[in-house]
Structure 1
Amino acid sequence: MSDAGVIHDIGYQRYEGPRLGRTAVFGAIYQHGLRASFGLGRSAKAKIFPWLVAGIVLLVAVINAAVKAQANIILFDYFSFDDTMSWLVIFFVAIVAPELVSRDMRSGVLPLYFSRPLRAFDYIGAKFVALATAVFLLLGVPQLIMFLGGAFTTDDGAKGVWNEFLDLLPGWGYSLLWAVLFASISLLIASVTGKRAFAAGGVVAFFLMTTPVVGVLSILPSTTAQHLAGLASPMSLLAGVQSWLRGQNSMDLDIGEFGVIYGIELFCLVLAAMLLLLARYRKVASL
């Protein structure tokens, strides 16, 4: 009997098509993350909560537009709309962020991701942009409905529509700030554990624990402490940045002359969250 080996041709062929590289991988993860944010491509159970939140936010926008059209009463402007919907945004990111990152950790697919031409920066960047897009859509689409309601009921014709549009643009900018800040914080917290229930609880707990601190600081006898109280919570931080950029203080938050401090903290908070995320996944990728 011969000991010579035998090679069997079973039809495998080398891949000779285009190699799309990191950009295509980034786009695929982003698209998958955005779809997962609203439960698309998943079971009906996964769609219930994100679409319930989206439905409530849309309903508020429709009611606001209807009241403005019928009684010329503005319940919310584009800025106060975001502030009013803050807790719905918190619950939204608390559910969606673990869906985007904790599921991958729990299912053990991260080594498979990083075995391809994909870097940790690409992975967290795609997840971050996907969640930020989802939050922006959650707030921006209702604002568009409010704009359409105002544009079609204005008495000033084209000038009125243009003025309404000029009000909408900074409102969208404010929504973008909400999306960037909440996406970065919630993803960082969710990346700590592979258990989605713990991750969701951690996101909600963070926002719950920081909110009362603002109230405590705002009643201190020091005027400086009162002006800086909003730095203690992401929601009041965003309200402070809005007051600074618009040049006017809100009724609930007086930032004094410290507007630039609010802007710096917002930038640093987002940057710190992204750097910590990058360090977290670089460690995972090296395993």
Structure 2
Amino acid sequence: MPEPTGVIHDIGYQRYTGPRLGRRHVFGALYLHGLRTAFGLGRSAKAKIFPWLVVGVVAVAAAGITAVRTQIGEVVMTYAQFADRMSWMVIFFVAVVAPELVSRDLLSGVLPLYFSRPLPREDYALAKLLALVTALWLLLGGPQLVMFLGAAFTTDDGIRGVWNELLDLLPGLLYAGLWAVVFASIGLLISSLTGKRAFAAGGIVAVFLMTTPIVGILSIMPSQTVNELAFLASPSTLVGATGAWALGDLLVFEGSSGPPIGGFGPLYAVATVALVAVAVLLLLLRYRKVATR
């Protein structure tokens, strides 16, 4: 009988015997990783340039507004107005960050590794969406906190003045959250359709910027009803019109009448909620169908 030639070597591999944290911790880890990715943390210096450039722009704007208010003693821009005026920065931030969050995973083919863990496909999509929403809210809400601190420390009314500032701040933070949810849901949905980050970025910019001229065309139509409904044609103007209806004087500058939406304010609010719901639903359906092999 021939002698056996195979040899089994014990090289020390052992089974994992530690705690298995499960689905909730996987979701949390993916969310934190996505949030760090949005600001380029833990990545190369090149990946940090654009996110922190945008952060720097909005922070400098907030500091400038605070300084002017301190000097003249009057409110230059409310917190909600700040979020509204800085919203154009969100478009470009989303166009760069959303593809980094999901398009890169599609291109590199790592989704099978994610889904081999106790992580449902819906959790992957929702964790990425929550990370992008948080990043956008911090982008618009963080500078508002700078404005609030500047106003709180220079108020002449003591505790009452700080309280009044807080009451003005909260609607501004909620409005920033509205921008974040709408832009993140649309941006992530578009990015999930392709592994090419350049295509995803172009699609996002197109959806947000190329729909704006449609609003301009509809707003000069002979029909007043069409004029008042024109702002439904673009996500940016949809959010702005919803905010103008909900916040009123906190958003509309003095001497301005705001978007001419007539009595359609509630319709704009419903349309905004429906837009987000449809975008999130399509995002979840996308990841149910995405190929992982």
The answer for the alignment partner of 2:101 in structure 1 is 100
Establish whether residue 276 from structure 1 lines up as the match of residue 282 from structure 2: yes
Structure 1 counterpart of 2:34, one-letter code: G
1:222 Cα offset (Å): 1.4
Contact kept, 8 Å, 2:244 with 2:258, in 1: the verdict is no
- More deviation in 164-173 or 215-224? 215-224
- More deviation in 170-179 or 65-74? 65-74
The answer for the alignment partner of 1:83 in structure 2 is 84
The answer for the alignment partner of 2:217 in structure 1 is 216
The answer for the alignment partner of 2:187 in structure 1 is 186
Deviations 1:116-173 (A, max 9, x none): 1111110011100100000000011100011111111212111011000000001100
Structure 2 counterpart of 1:266, one-letter code: T
| Whole-angstrom CA distance in 2 between matches of 1:127 and 1:20 | 20
Structure 2 counterpart of 1:123, one-letter code: Y
RMSD: 1.7
Contact kept, 8 Å, 2:152 with 2:162, in 1: the verdict is yes
Q: Structure 2 unaligned runs (5+)? A: none
Q: How many residues align?
A: 287
For 1:36-185, list aligned pairs within 5 A: 36-185=37-186
| Whole-angstrom CA distance in 1 between matches of 2:156 and 2:197 | 50
For 1:4-15, list aligned pairs within 5 A: 7-15=8-16
1:263 pairs, out of 265, 269, 287, with: 269
| Whole-angstrom CA distance in 1 between matches of 2:93 and 2:291 | 28
The answer for the alignment partner of 1:18 in structure 2 is 19
| Whole-angstrom CA distance in 1 between matches of 2:6 and 2:289 | 43
Contact kept, 8 Å, 1:21 with 1:117, in 2: the verdict is yes
1:175 Cα offset (Å): 0.4
Structure 2 counterpart of 1:255, one-letter code: I
CA shift in 2, pair 1:73/1:247, >3 Å: closer
Identity of aligned pairs, percent? Answer: 64
Contact kept, 8 Å, 1:101 with 1:191, in 2: the verdict is yes
- More deviation in 3-12 or 99-108? 3-12
| Whole-angstrom CA distance in 2 between matches of 1:221 and 1:14 | 74
Contact kept, 8 Å, 2:83 with 2:141, in 1: the verdict is no
| Whole-angstrom CA distance in 1 between matches of 2:28 and 2:216 | 42
| Whole-angstrom CA distance in 2 between matches of 1:149 and 1:286 | 50
SS of the residue aligned with 1:187? helix
- TM normalised by structure 2 equals 0.93
| Whole-angstrom CA distance in 2 between matches of 1:45 and 1:5 | 51
Contact kept, 8 Å, 2:111 with 2:292, in 1: the verdict is no
SS of the residue aligned with 2:210? helix
- TM normalised by structure 1 equals 0.95
1:23 Cα offset (Å): 0.6
Contact kept, 8 Å, 1:114 with 1:285, in 2: the verdict is no
| Whole-angstrom CA distance in 2 between matches of 1:83 and 1:213 | 20
The answer for the alignment partner of 2:260 in structure 1 is 254
